[in-house]
Amino acid sequence: MSSLYDTPLSLTADPSSSFRYEMAALSHPSASTAAVRFGGSLRTVARSFPNLIVAHAVTGHHRWQVGSESGDGRTPFIVPPEQEFRADFGDLHLRTFSVATDALEHVMRALLGDDPTRLQLSGLNRRSRNPRLVAETLRYIEATALADEQIAASPLMRTQLMHQAVAAFLTAFPLVDADDLDRRRPTARTVRRAVAFMEEHVGEAISIGDIAVAAGTSVRALQSAFHRAFGIPPSTYLRRLRIEGAHAELRAAHPGSSTVREVATRWGFAHTGRFAQLYAAIYGEHPSHTLRR
- Any idea what DSSP says for residue 15? S
For residue 196, is it left (φ>0), alpha (ψ between -120 and 50) or beta?
alpha
**Residue 47 CB coordination number (10 Å):** 12
- The hierarchical CATH code for the domain 2-100 is 2.60.120.10
168-209 pLDDT, tens digit each: 887 788 876 555 544 445 568 889 889 999 998 998 888 888
Say what the pLDDT of residue 179 is. Answer: 52
pLDDT band at 110 (very low <50, low <70, confident <90, very high): low
Say what the pLDDT of residue 87 is. Answer: 96
231-279 pLDDT, tens digit each: 899 999 999 999 999 999 999 988 778 899 999 999 989 889 999 999 9
DSSP 40-84: EEEEEEES--SSEEEEEEEEEEEEEEETTEEEETTS-EEE-TTS-
Instruction: Kindly report whether the peptide bond that precedes residue 15 is cis, defined as omega within 30 degrees of 0.
Output: yes
Q: Return the H-helix or E-strand segment holding 28.
A: strand 20-28
Q: What is the pTM of this model?
A: 0.67
Query: What does the pLDDT average to over 100-126?
Result: 72
The answer, yes or no, to whether residue 148 has pLDDT greater than 90, is: no
The answer, yes or no, to whether residue 293 has pLDDT greater than 60, is: yes
The answer, yes or no, to whether residue 53 has pLDDT greater than 90, is: yes
Query: What does the pLDDT average to over 147-159?
Result: 83
Percentage above 90 pLDDT, the chain? 46
- Any idea what DSSP says for residue 180? G
Per the model's pLDDT, the better-predicted residue between 20 and 128 turns out to be 20
Say what the pLDDT of residue 181 is. Answer: 45
Percentage above 70 pLDDT, the chain? 92
Do 2-100 and 238-292 agree at the fold level? Answer: no
The answer, yes or no, to whether residue 226 has pLDDT greater than 80, is: yes
**Residue 237 CB coordination number (10 Å):** 18
Query: What does the pLDDT average to over 50-61?
Result: 95
Mean pLDDT of the chain: 86
Say what the pLDDT of residue 116 is. Answer: 52
Per CATH, the architecture of 238-292 is what? Orthogonal Bundle (1.10)
Per the model's pLDDT, the better-predicted residue between 117 and 44 turns out to be 44
Q: How many residues does the chain have?
A: 293
Q: How far is CA 1 from CA 8, 41, 44, 127, 157, in A?
A: 8, 17, 11, 28, 24
User: Which residue pairs from 128-132 have beta carbons closer than 8 angstroms and sit at least 24 positions apart in sequence?
Assistant: 128/75, 128/76, 128/77, 128/78, 128/172, 128/173, 128/174, 129/171, 129/172, 129/173, 129/174, 130/171, 130/172, 131/75, 131/76, 131/172
Per the model's pLDDT, the better-predicted residue between 234 and 112 turns out to be 234
Domain ranges within the chain, ordered by starting residue: 2-100, 102-237, 238-292
The answer, yes or no, to whether residue 84 has pLDDT greater than 80, is: yes
